[in-house]
Every structure is written in structure tokens, then in C-alpha cells.
Structure 1
Amino acid sequence: MPYQQPTLSDLQAQGLNDIVATNITQGRALFPRSVLRALTWCFANLTWGNYDFLASCYRQAVPFTATDEALDGWGAMREILRKDATAATGTVQFTGATPQKPLPMGTVIMRADGLDYITTADAAADATGTLSAPVTCQTTGATGNCDAGIAFSLLTAISGLPAQGVALAAFTGGADMETDSEYRTRVLAAYASRAGGGRQDDYVEWAEDVAGVTRAWCNPNGFGPGTVVVYFMMDDAEAANGGYPQGTDGGAADETRYAPATGDQLTVADAIYPQRPATALVIACAPTPCPIDVTVRNLSPNTTAQITAMETALADLFYREGTPLGMTLAQSDIEDALLSTGASFTMVSPAGPTDIPVGSLPSVGAVVPA
């Protein structure tokens, strides 16, 4: 049974009872402003502070309950470091510029809500007056991600360039610093494993150590003997793309036996390359979505909000149960997820188990009330 720490009220009451028990007051009650009453409250507060300090020490004594820098210390002992926040990147497009007008690297461009970005390469307007400049958010975190078409403006006016521009495509790559809960999961997994020998779990841990990676799976011999295929997802950093990594599948930049990856896949492949067993050919891959359409009859309530809730429930199911290593989704699992929204209906399709091929993840398709 866990130790029950006394509350401040318990300690104050105990102190007053002890005073009465010593018969100092000769049976008389203490006055509201009695010095003894004030001293009792003072010592009760001091004692409670000691209890609280000891409780804090106990929490930091094991990685299961440790927090903040203590949890960082436990993770560092197993070479599991907290993931730093990353900055979002994208392209801002200006139209109506003077042809060939340059925009130098290091120019600050401000998003409509006041968030600053900086150009990462020199750019120049083409013959039609369109200028596209790559930018990086100066504030790390998911707040730097945004949708295509969001308004941007030059922080300082430049002659020959319009003041207003837009995001050419969705900005991605921004991820918040790993929370205690997320980090603790990786730390505990590291302590529970015997890492370092190139086991299947090792590749998962190495991939999840990369900033932005939230889930990973290892398929040994996935592309033939001697190969190790690592699938991964970036649910926050690539939220605009459904969490799917952006780039091409392949090996590390220093791998000579396979075409090198690009984009997010190259980042993960390069991170795993120096840690893998010397002969393993590691290929970093993005799963492909496998949409699952659902049809129901006699849906009640048959509203847009209800259908949205059902889509959210399915997305949660696929997030928890999905794997690109090949799986079968039971029809009852899909039906239970839909029922959790409080709706009543008759399931039409899928009418049986749904097979998800290797390399694919189940994703939400169309939810159609028949």
C-alpha cells in the first residue's frame, strides 16, 4: 500500500491535539490569536514542506515518475535524449514584382499573425514577375506550420517587390519539443530493452530518436536478405500531409549499395546509418495510405457533426492499431469505433475483415450513410 502523506490540515490538527495532551493550557481552549496556535500552524507548515520535498525526491528517483531535468538525466544514461523543437519551412510566393528583381537570403518575412520567417537562399523574380523564396520560421515548434495560401508580408519594404505574398504550399517540418509523457515512453522502452545489437526494436528506437518522428516500424529482410526496411510517421511535423513523411525512400547518403533517400526519409536513414550493424542495408520508407471506406444504413443522428465524429473515431483506431508491416482490421473493430460516438446504425461495408498490405497504413476514407 502506498504511503499516505499527511495533509497540512492533518498536521495542524495533530499539533493542536498534542498541545492539549500535554495539559499546558490546563484544560482551557486556546484563544484564536494564541501564540501556541500560531506556532502550531508554523511548525505544521514547515513539516508539510519537508514531506512535500521528500515526495518530490521519490518521484525523481525512478524514470517512471521523474519529470523535467531529472527525466532528461535518466534518459541520458541510456543515450535517449529529448527531441528539440524544429522549425517549419516552406516557400513564399510574390506576384507582380519587377522582372529579375532579387530578394537576398536573410530577408525577414512576416506571417499575417506576426510570426517571423527568414529567407534561406537568394531568389529573383522571373520574367512574369513571380518570385518564390524558400523560408524558415525563426520560432521553432508546430506553430510555424501553416496552410497554403496564408498571407505573408515583407518586414521591410523593398523597391520593385510587392509587400504581400502567400504561402505557395503548406508549411511543414515544425514540431514542438518532446513532452515529458512522450519522452518518458521512449526512456522506459530503452530501459526495458537490451539495445545495441541491431534487434528489430533497436531500429524503431533509432528512428524515433529523430526529431519529428512519432511512430516507427521495422521490417527485417523487407526488400530481401540483408535489408532492413524502416517505416516511420511524422504525425506533427507533417500534419499538413496527414503525418506521412515527404521525400523519396532510400538509404543513407553514405550508403553505396542503394539509391540515397531524399527529404524526411534521408534524415532518418542518415541517423540510423552509423548505429546499425555494419552489414545491414537500411532503407527508410514512408508508408502509403490505404483508405478504408465505410458505409452505414439507418444512421441516427444523420448529421455532418456525427459523420465528422465517426471519422475522428476511425482516425484514432487507425492511429492506435495501424502498422505498415501487414495487418488485418476486423470489421468489429471498425464498428466498435463508430459506436463509441453514440450513433446508431447498421453496418453495410466493410462487411468483413480488411487486409492492409505491407508498406501501407489504414487511413480514413469516405464515411457514407446509405
Structure 2
Amino acid sequence: MAPTGHSSMRGRGRTPRAMPYQQPTLSDLQSQGLNDIVSSNITQGRSLLPRSVLRPLTWAFANLTWGNYDYQAYCYRQAVPFTATDENLDGWGAMRETLRKDASTASGQVQFTGGNPGTDLASGTVITRNDGVDYVTTADADVDSGGNLLVPVTCQSSGATGNCDAGTGFSLSMAIEGIPAQGTAPVAMTGGADQETDSEYRTRVLAAYASRSGGGRKSDYVEWAEDIPGITRAWCNPLAFGAGTVTVYVMLDDAQQENGGYPQGTNGSASDEGRYTTATGDQLTVANAIWIEQPVTALVAVCAPKPFPIDVTVANLTPNTTAQIAAMKTALSDLYFREGTPLGMTLEQSDISDALLSTGASFTIVSPAGPVSVPVGSLPSVGNLVLS
């Protein structure tokens, strides 16, 4: 059974045309085998009988041949990082010192009020979130003179599921005399992220092969930030607040999906940076990771972009249905995700109109009446969609 789908080049001086590898199907191989038997004159020109032993033999050999083709197609895909998967993609990334981001665990603090002063809560105590997710205390803590107990905790399961907002309720897994059973998170739990998927990782690997890594260029800060678990987008704004300063904006579109992808914490610098305010939450995680890589003289601040809602008014909408309006908002969200940057941008009215038209609607756009300027430090976001 001869290979199929390979490109050929005839004649000198001609540019070869790239042809994709075409893997023959199992049915194609079986049909080819049966045709080869008939054409070889084994049956003296007659068709095979329905119950001929040559039919199952042909089917068996076609299966074996298809397995070889399938493995060849697999090797073909793993030959370049553009199509490689799983551990082969990991290998391509390692050659550029770009490793897949493992799942990380969320951490934060839980506060109990109304306890008996001096009561001890041991490290390793399990505390359960109201939806059943377990956390464990990472240090001993005592109830203070005011009856308050503040204890650091880490989620026992990896992934973005460990993140939660300030005010989320918690409870002790086992009753402890002198400590109330119910507590809350005084600040948001951050740091949890799911393992990087092949698609997300491949984007970074290809970017690493396309770039010339240096010691502090704009692209370096973006790569350093996007290497951190949970970070899906990053931007670098050099000299943002004076000579020698660098501002890095980040988004966590998956890990902080419930908060619109915006980091949960306060803006600032790394823990070891004494020249500026220390960040907290997601911003601190990024700043501490960049601190290891950045030039020693740079003053780096990690910031969360601010949402910049854009109100859109349309007239004569057809069809005027709830599903249509929802589709239009989704189209706008996709546009802002693809085109948005906190480095200052102008969004044309035609871009907004094209996004809305992609949903199949008929309308007249009333506002915005012209280009929309998004200031530095902000990302465009979906505002009110008004029908007039």
C-alpha cells in the first residue's frame, strides 16, 4: 500500500509548493488492499466472494498499516512547537527556558471574632469554606485581647477554585472551645490558578522562539509576568512614573474570572523593594516573581488595570430580543479582550459597529458618535447597551 498525500517537485528552478500531510483513512486502505488483490490476478480477474478469507486478511493488514500512518501523523505534529502537544510541547518550551505553569494554590487569611483571649489555634487545622472547599492553617495563632483571631491559611486543592472574595464565610471543621465556629476572609484569597493548557502554553512557547530575550526590554517584562501561574495577559509601560521606573499591568482572565479577570490586591512593588509601596495579593505575587529577573536598578510596580465601561446606544434593532442583545454584549466583550490595552488606546466607532454586525443584527448606531479614547491604566469594558 503506497503512501499518499506527499508533495512532489518536478523540474528545476521551481519553488516547491507546501502540501499538508494527508493521512489515508482505514476505509481507503481496505479498499486499496482489495483492489490490489483483484488487479494482481490472484482471483483471475473475478471479484472476491463475500466470505473469502482474503477479505478479513485485507482488513487486518489495513488496520496495521493505518496504525503506522497514525503514528507517522503523530510524529509529524510533534516535529514543531506550532502543533506539538503534551510532553513534546514541554520539551520544545524547555529549550527556550519557557516551562508550563503548574496549578498553584490560593492563600490568604481567615478571621474569627468573639473568641476567648489566649485560646490557641494550631497550625494544620482544617478550615472549610462555605461551599465545601478545605483550607489549612499554616501557622499557630492566638485569640487576642479583643477576642479576634487572624490566621493564615492555604487551600488544600490546587487551582483557581481556591480564590475567593473578601467577606467569604468559613467554618472550623472541628469545634474548638474558645473559638467561634464561623469566620470570614478579611481580604480576598489569591494565588490559585489552574495548570496551563496546551493552547495557552503554546502561545508563550512560540513567543519565546520569536523573541530575542534580553535583560529588561518591554517584551522581557511581559514574558516574565506571563510565566507566572494565573497571568493570561500582561503589558509593560516603561518610565511610567519617572526615569528608571517600569509599570507592569496584568490580568488573570481565568483565575479571577468571577472578578472580570482583574487582579485582586493593591498595586505596588516586590517585598524586597524598599523604594516604593509593597504590593499585596495578585500584584505582590507578580512583583516578587519579576524581582528575581529584572535589572537591579529598575523600580518596578505591578498594577491592575481599571475597567473603562463604554456605553453603546443603537436604534432600530432587528431582531430586538434578549438573546440578540446578549450576543451583542458578548461580541463587544470579545472585541475589548482582543484589542484592549492599558497603555492608552483609541477605539474606533467602526470597530464597535463591526463587532455588533457580526451577530447578524440590523441597527443604527447612535453612540458613541466617534472614536473612544481609553486612558492609560484602563481597559475597555462592556457598559450599558441602550436601545433608543
For normalisation by structure 2, the TM-score amounts to 0.83
From 197, 202, 224, the equivalent of 1:184 is 202
Summarize deviations over 1:230-259 as a string: whole Å, max 9, x none.
211122222333222233333333334444
The verdict on how the C-alpha distance between 1:161 and 1:267 changes in structure 2, with shifts beyond 3 A counting, is closer
From 57, 70, 90, the equivalent of 1:39 is 57
Match of 1:357 in 2: 375
**CA distance in 1: counterparts of 2:146 and 2:319, whole angstroms:** 53
**CA distance in 2: counterparts of 1:25 and 1:275, whole angstroms:** 73
Is residue 98–residue 160 contact of structure 1 (8 Å, CA) maintained in 2? yes
**CA distance in 1: counterparts of 2:323 and 2:145, whole angstroms:** 48
**CA distance in 1: counterparts of 2:297 and 2:171, whole angstroms:** 51
CA RMSD of aligned residues (A): 2.9
Is residue 231–residue 285 contact of structure 1 (8 Å, CA) maintained in 2? yes
Whichever residue aligns with residue 319 of structure 1, its letter is: F
Which structure 2 residues correspond to residues 1-370 of structure 1 after superposition, within 5 A? Answer: 1-90=19-108, 101-111=119-129, 113-123=131-141, 133-146=151-164, 152-159=170-177, 171-302=189-320, 304-370=322-388
The verdict on how the C-alpha distance between 1:310 and 1:90 changes in structure 2, with shifts beyond 3 A counting, is farther
Summarize deviations over 1:43-74 as a string: whole Å, max 9, x none.
11111111111111111111000000000000
**CA distance in 1: counterparts of 2:327 and 2:383, whole angstroms:** 14
Whichever residue aligns with residue 381 of structure 2, its letter is: S
2:66 is paired with a residue whose SS is helix
**CA distance in 2: counterparts of 1:151 and 1:277, whole angstroms:** 42
The verdict on how the C-alpha distance between 1:105 and 1:344 changes in structure 2, with shifts beyond 3 A counting, is farther
**CA distance in 2: counterparts of 1:55 and 1:165, whole angstroms:** 56
2:289 is paired with a residue whose SS is helix
How big is the shift at 1:129? Answer: 7.0
The verdict on how the C-alpha distance between 1:173 and 1:340 changes in structure 2, with shifts beyond 3 A counting, is farther
Summarize deviations over 1:210-244 as a string: whole Å, max 9, x none.
11111111122222222222211122222333222
Whichever residue aligns with residue 178 of structure 1, its letter is: E
The verdict on how the C-alpha distance between 1:101 and 1:278 changes in structure 2, with shifts beyond 3 A counting, is closer
The verdict on how the C-alpha distance between 1:57 and 1:258 changes in structure 2, with shifts beyond 3 A counting, is same
The verdict on how the C-alpha distance between 1:96 and 1:262 changes in structure 2, with shifts beyond 3 A counting, is closer
For normalisation by structure 1, the TM-score amounts to 0.87
How big is the shift at 1:90? Answer: 4.9
Whichever residue aligns with residue 271 of structure 1, its letter is: A
Which stretch of the first structure deviates more once superposed, 284-293 or 73-82?
A: 284-293
Is residue 173–residue 238 contact of structure 1 (8 Å, CA) maintained in 2? no
How big is the shift at 1:200? Answer: 1.8
Which stretch of the first structure deviates more once superposed, 187-196 or 273-282?
A: 273-282
Which stretch of the first structure deviates more once superposed, 312-321 or 258-267?
A: 258-267
How big is the shift at 1:196? Answer: 1.9
Q: 5+ residue gaps in structure 1?
A: none
Is residue 150–residue 166 contact of structure 1 (8 Å, CA) maintained in 2? yes
Is residue 169–residue 184 contact of structure 2 (8 Å, CA) maintained in 1? yes
**CA distance in 1: counterparts of 2:328 and 2:212, whole angstroms:** 40
Whichever residue aligns with residue 240 of structure 2, its letter is: G
Whichever residue aligns with residue 261 of structure 1, its letter is: A
How big is the shift at 1:13? Answer: 1.6
Q: How high is the sequence identity, in percent, across the aligned residues?
A: 74
How big is the shift at 1:28? Answer: 4.3
Is residue 93–residue 132 contact of structure 1 (8 Å, CA) maintained in 2? yes
Which stretch of the first structure deviates more once superposed, 183-192 or 83-92?
A: 83-92
Is residue 299–residue 343 contact of structure 1 (8 Å, CA) maintained in 2? yes
The count of aligned residue pairs is 370
**CA distance in 2: counterparts of 1:257 and 1:163, whole angstroms:** 42
**CA distance in 2: counterparts of 1:112 and 1:32, whole angstroms:** 66
Summarize deviations over 1:5-34 as a string: whole Å, max 9, x none.
221111112222222223223344434443
How big is the shift at 1:123? Answer: 4.9
Summarize deviations over 1:304-339 as a string: whole Å, max 9, x none.
554443333222211111111111111222222233
2:302 is paired with a residue whose SS is strand
The verdict on how the C-alpha distance between 1:76 and 1:144 changes in structure 2, with shifts beyond 3 A counting, is same
The verdict on how the C-alpha distance between 1:52 and 1:367 changes in structure 2, with shifts beyond 3 A counting, is same
